Amino acid sequence: MTISVRLRHRFPGFSLDAAFAVPSRGITALFGPSGAGKSSILGAAAGLWRPDACRITIDEDVFADTDAGVWLPPERRRAGIVFQDARLFPHLSVAGNLRYGLRRAPPNGALAPIRFDDVVGLLGIGPLLSRRPHTLSGGERQRVAIGRALLSQPRLLLMDEPLAGLDTALKAEILPYLAALGAAAGRPVLYVTHALDEVMRLADQLVLVEAGRVLAAGALSAVAERADLPLARRDDAAALLEGRVAEHDRPRELTRIAAGGAGFWVPLVDAAEGTALRLRIPAREVILAGRAPEAISVHNIVAGTVRQIVRDPARRTVIVTVALTAGDPGEGALLARVTPDAVARLGLVAGAPVLALVKSTAIEVLR
């Protein structure tokens, strides 16, 4: 079950030539700098504009195939769209805006229907139903806009930088709702953003877009750990590991999370054992060593194997990918930003064993 996009188009001064295929489950983030072509890809998927050449499919559904003369108009693609501006109807209450989505819904097909009460509960908008849009905060308006799009019973949900206009506090308000959306909606979601923190919190798959080209596409953790991609050269470069709470050590105020084939101690987490969590581990916080140091405050000393070493000449540094279980690409990996001298002193080469040291307080726990 796959979302497949292949399109080419020449704009004045810009050429878009993008292709990717990712699983049609959860949230797929289209990430890259402003002007990279992300919103154009989203618009083509929605049918809002027609590229010179394209083929767009979701599972067995063909949205467009210019070679075969297929081009479904937007209404036949059943794409629910959420923009930066919530675009709610000011004369309708929240409930009225939501029911407008229901009125636009086509007859039920093969997909399970998305119900009004389920959307209200998922997005936490029950207390807002009688209010008008002008009385809502930015985060509340976006939640209502998402609800309206879901209730139109879309085949695909498209979100074009829905948090771009919100300040940090409002983004923090809405992110937990978006994080629950991918699995709960039961529809594939394409999510455009240039904010890496949103990607790390929300995405299941990542499509990395730059200058009209797709540089990489795949599972978020697999793309994030590649030292050869521009993502690894960012100040906020980090590895992402999917994990579960393994145990709590309450006297020490620590929680151990099993993730990526290793165990990581973090400050005590208020979550039951077995709870699924994500760990974001910044590359600048990972120290590499040839042997375990003694009498050190670091809680996490993890054995691994060097998978990849890539120089970053602009920073005079090196990005090292460390596989956590004998170089098995199916397991997790860390990124470490170190100096060329450190690589030389430790004798690091691909395949060499190495220890990764990570402070517990440097690990960000995402839920």
* Burial (CB count <10 Å: 0-12, 13-18, 19+), residue 58: buried
pLDDT of residue 114: 84
Q: How far apart are CA 206 and CA 20, in angstroms?
A: 10
Three-state DSSP state, 169: helix
Residue 60 CB partners (closer than 8 Å, separation 6+): none
Residue 49 CB partners (closer than 8 Å, separation 6+): 40, 43
pLDDT in single tens digits along all 367 residues of the chain: 899 999 999 999 999 999 999 998 899 999 999 999 999 999 999 999 999 999 999 998 999 999 999 999 998 998 999 988 888 999 999 999 999 888 877 765 556 788 899 889 988 999 999 999 999 998 899 999 999 998 888 889 999 998 887 888 888 888 888 888 777 777 899 999 999 999 999 999 999 999 999 999 999 999 999 999 999 999 999 999 999 999 999 999 999 999 998 999 999 999 999 999 999 999 999 999 999 888 889 999 999 999 999 999 989 999 999 999 755 555 899 999 999 999 999 999 999 999 999 999 999 999 7
- Residue 123: closest CA among 162, 63, 181, 166: 181
Q: What is the phi/psi pair of residue 73, to 5°?
A: -70, 160
Q: How far apart are CA 60 and CA 155, in angstroms?
A: 12
Residue 360 CB partners (closer than 8 Å, separation 6+): 254, 264, 265, 266, 267, 298, 299, 300
* List of domains in the chain: 2-224 (3.40.50.300), 238-366 (2.40.50.100)
pLDDT of residue 173: 82
What angle is formed at CA 74 by the lines to CA 72 and CA 77, rounded to 5 degrees?
A: 65
The token pair that represents 295 in the structure block: 């009498």
Assess contact for 255 and 249: CB atoms under 8 A: yes
Residue 110 CB partners (closer than 8 Å, separation 6+): none
